[in-house]
Amino acid sequence: MKSIIVTLGFIVILSGCESTDDDGIPRIRSQRDADAYNATVSSTGERIFCERERVIGSNIRQLVCLTVNQRDAIARAARENINTNDVR
């Protein structure tokens, strides 16, 4: 009986780790997940693109997924940063 309760406790804990965030976007764990999400999105700016990148502090590549709008904003901020630093 005790082992059944312990097993059920582990199942509850593990199922909590698999929940989605409250923002309504499911977790993207593979390119297949990104493609499935992109099939449901009508706006091109909300499409998700994933790449394997080396994250700062690690040599292990991780799947990094951003929307088109997010990638554009990062690129724009980087260009503005370079332009403001070149003016010296």
For residue range 39-79, what is the model confidence (pLDDT) as tens digits? 998 898 999 999 999 888 888 899 889 999 999 999 999 99
Question: How distant is the alpha carbon of residue 15 from its chain centre?
Answer: 20
Domain boundaries, the chain: 25-86
Mean pLDDT over residues 26-35, rounded?
Answer: 85
Q: Identify the helix (H) or strand (E) that includes residue 76.
A: helix 68-86
Q: What is the pLDDT of residues 68-84, one digit of tens each?
A: 999 999 999 999 998 88
Q: What is the model's pTM?
A: 0.58
Dist CA 41 CA 84 (whole Å): 36
Q: Identify the helix (H) or strand (E) that includes residue 13.
A: helix 2-17
What b/e readout covers 36-59, taking b as 16+ CB neighbours within 10 angstroms?
Answer: ebeeeeeeeeebbebeeeeeeeee
| pLDDT band, residue 5 (cuts 50/70/90) | confident
